[in-house]
Amino acid sequence: MADVTGGCHCGEIRYEVTGEPVVHALCHCTDCRRHAGPPMVGWVTVAEDMVKVTKGQLGLIRPRRPDRHAARSRFARRA
């Protein structure tokens, strides 16, 4: 994977990712479909030290219910 730069929709967060992903996949779960809208969502998992936040500060969101996926998501604090 080539180095990637990106950010959130509100513009508060910018980031850089370097190196190869640990895993990549297409997800069809209800949470991903509700969050993004399409019938599937493409995503990658990378090691934490591969990600550098270049603008803003991330907030942490955990699943609301214990039966949800164990994954944690990070978003712009104002999003």
- Please tell me the distance from the alpha carbon of residue 38 to that of residue 35, in angstroms, as a whole number: 9
| Spatial CB neighbours of 35, under 8 Å, sequence gap ≥ 6 | 41
pLDDT score of 5: 94
Q: Residue 26 forms beta bridges with which residues? A: 42
User: Residue written as tokens 């190869």?
Assistant: 20
- pTM (predicted TM-score): 0.63
Which residue is associated with the tokens 């209800």? 30
Cα–Cα dist 20/48, whole Å: 12
Bridge pairing between strands 14-17 and 4-7: antiparallel
Task: State yes or no: pLDDT of 26 exceeds 90.
Answer: yes
pLDDT of 64 > 90? The answer is no
